[in-house]
Amino acid sequence: MDVFLQPFQFEFFRNGTLAAVLVGGLCGLIGVYIVLRGMSYIGHGLSHAIFGGAVVAFVMTWNFYLGAGLWGFLAAVLINQTVRRTRISADAAIGVITTASFAIGVALISRYRRFTRSFDAALFGNILGVTGQDVLVVAAVTLMVGAIIFFLYKQLLFTTFDAEVAQVYGVKTEWIDTLFSLVLAAALIASMQILGVTLIAAALVIPAITARLLTDSFNRMIVLSTLIGAVTGLIGMYLSYYVDVSSGATIVLLQATAFGLVLMITSLQKRAARRLIHTHL
Amino acid sequence: MQPLVELNHVAFGYGSEPVLEDICLHLHPGQFAALVGPSGAGKTSLLKLILGVLQPARGEICVHGKSLNGRPAPRVGYVPQLESVDWNFPVTVEQVVLMGRVRRSGVWPWPGVEDRRRVREVLERLEIGGLAGRHIRDLSGGQQQRVFLARALIAEPDLLVLDEPTTGVDMRTAENVLHMLAHLNQQGMTILITTHDLNAAAGHLPWVVCLNRRVIAQGPPDEIFTTETLNETYRGDMLVIRQDGMLFVQQKPHGHTYHDLVPNPVAGEAMPQTPESNNGRLSSTVSV
């Protein structure tokens, strides 16, 4: 038992594990909506857009969370409105808006070479550098996102299933979409310091598609995806401590392995079920 | 009598392309009506204007005597085309039907006792009571149509709007759906559908609106299904046959057979049916 508790004597590990579990669960929860709407690319894109916002916030000496958050939210709204009002498809709009925003960040960094702050953490994540204050921010965002999804559960489900029909049934879909953009931007910013811009997309998508393979019920998918995200966050942190590999990468690799196993098992089960039907004929 | 739905000189277009022009239409409480017309005639656009999803470029749409002005129409149940549904979405029959109560149930994410009771009631009413826990993909075409009808009915609408309820299902299912709608109409529900099936419309609907960008004609099918109106609606040669009090509509035969179009067809092979090949597979019944 002591072996398992041993890493917890370090504060950086306690903070990191708490943050990884929260961020894993948070990304798992939001990922369900992202995957079911076919928006997997937006998680990847928006995290890059937010990176641009983070650099701008640093240069202008704004508060990081406010600056990057506002930037990410505006990018999400801009993508939504472009898709709604023009003939440009979602993937193209995401490609243009988020990459341009990322480029602003890169341009600013190359122009002002006097940066004292390292942006490595923002790009690749740095779970071990998580402070108590960072954990508080992640916990607050997780609580807020959880509350919004809890109280708008039915409206979000209907909008995700069929936005146009939801509108006919009195759901204010445009408002729901905007609120979801805000939630997504907040979740990405909270996750960015921990998983890094480059790994967030995987943490959003993998738990959700793994859960989808395991169930045909939306309610169960939500619970499973959140659990898979949180549990892989916890186990990934442990593994990274013992095998001495970067925590963010360990968590994502663990999730990918879980997905591969579930895919293999469910395919075998389906094949077995088919064989059973054939023998009955 | 105050019309339930009222369209006054409504025009609509996508960009500079006009789709509907000068549409004047009244739908009275208790009416059972179909919009017919060729593809691209504006049937679905007209439905979406009435639902308040699309906004007219000109004219006014009133539901219950009140102008919509960009709001969704109140107390309307909508059944979209089955083709537009994402059948891989992880939802069960019960979860889909519960969506219809989104405006009425409380703030909690789970359904209340009253919600569950109503779902059971509406599923029993549509004779799919045993399917509540099934995934929507694991249903026959007729059952799928009933699930989405159940979602519309649980919202307790004054008007039911169905987009192509007879498309994408076999003939027997289409017939069943229309009989079910006629039954609902007899219980007082106002119903508006679009359909491609003129014969089904002639046989089941007391009121038909012929649409092709504008309203060409409207009335009972035996009065308005004439060669002239249908030619104008479909811009083709239509044939109307009246026999034994029934009405049949057909595109006029072109005076040729397949021999003229495919002079040397490759013949298929009619396989003799052995008892083995018939074992269990061909005898399966079609459930509706």
Prediction ipTM score: 0.83
Nearest Cβ partner for A167 among B53, B91, B281: B53
Reply yes or no on whether the pLDDT at A33 is more than 70.
Answer: yes
* Per-residue confidence (pLDDT) for residue B284, from 0 to 100: 45
* Per-residue confidence (pLDDT) for residue B71, from 0 to 100: 81
- Interface list for B 56-75 with A (CB within 8 A): 72-73
* Per-residue confidence (pLDDT) for residue A114, from 0 to 100: 62
Domain total in chain A: 1
Identify which has the larger pLDDT, A176 or B253: A176
Reply yes or no on whether the pLDDT at B278 is more than 70.
Answer: no
Chain A CA closest to residue B277: A281
Identify which has the larger pLDDT, A134 or B287: A134
Would you say residue A150 lies in a domain? yes
Residue A137's region, left for phi above 0, alpha for psi from -120 to 50, else beta, is alpha
Reply yes or no on whether the pLDDT at B288 is more than 50.
Answer: no
Would you say residue A29 lies in a domain? yes
Would you say residue A2 lies in a domain? no
Would you say residue A5 lies in a domain? no
For residue A121, what pLDDT band results from cuts at 50, 70 and 90? Answer: low
* Per-residue confidence (pLDDT) for residue B286, from 0 to 100: 44
Chain B positions in Cβ-Cβ contact with residue A154 (cut-off 8 Å): 98-99, 102, 105, 109
For residue A278, what pLDDT band results from cuts at 50, 70 and 90? Answer: low
Would you say residue A6 lies in a domain? no
Ranges A8-17, B63-72, B249-258: which has the least confidence: B249-258
Most confident among A50-64, A100-114, B117-131 (mean pLDDT): B117-131
- How far is Cα A43 from Cα B181, in angstroms, rounded to an integer? 44
Residues contacting A46, CB < 8 A, separation 6+: A72, A75, A76, A94, A98, A184, A185, A188
* Per-residue confidence (pLDDT) for residue B282, from 0 to 100: 47
For residue A83, what pLDDT band results from cuts at 50, 70 and 90? Answer: confident
Identify which has the larger pLDDT, B32 or B70: B32
Would you say residue A95 lies in a domain? yes
Using one digit for the tens of pLDDT, what is the confidence trace for A179-222?
Answer: 988 898 889 888 887 888 878 889 999 999 999 999 989 999 99
Global pTM reads 0.85
Q: What are phi and psi of B283, to 5 degrees?
A: -90, 0
Chain A CA closest to residue B87: A161
Can you spell out the DSSP letters for chain B? ---SEEEEEEEEEETTEEEEEEEEEEE-TT-EEEEE--TTSSHHHHHHHHHTSS--SEEEEEETTEE-TTSPPTTEEEE--GGGS-TTS--BHHHHHHHTTTTTS-SSSS--HHHHHHHHHHHHHTT-GGGTTSBGGGS-HHHHHHHHHHHHHTT--SEEEEESTTTTS-HHHHHHHHHHHHHHHHTT-EEEEEES-HHHHHHH-SEEEEEESEEEEEE-HHHH--HHHHHHHHTS-EEEEEETTEEEEEEPP-S--HHHH-SSPPP-------TTTTSSSTTPPPP-
Give the N- to C-terminal CA distance of chain A in Å, as an integer: 54
Ranges A9-13, A45-49, B279-283: which has the least confidence: B279-283
| Residue A109 belongs to domain spanning | 11-280
Can you spell out the DSSP letters for B39-61? TTSSHHHHHHHHHTSS--SEEEE
Closest CA to B25 of B208, B198, B262: B208
Using one digit for the tens of pLDDT, what is the confidence trace for B225-239?
Answer: 888 888 888 887 788
CATH number at residue A177: 1.10.3470.10
Nearest Cβ partner for A161 among B52, B72, B91: B91
Would you say residue A4 lies in a domain? no
Would you say residue A122 lies in a domain? yes
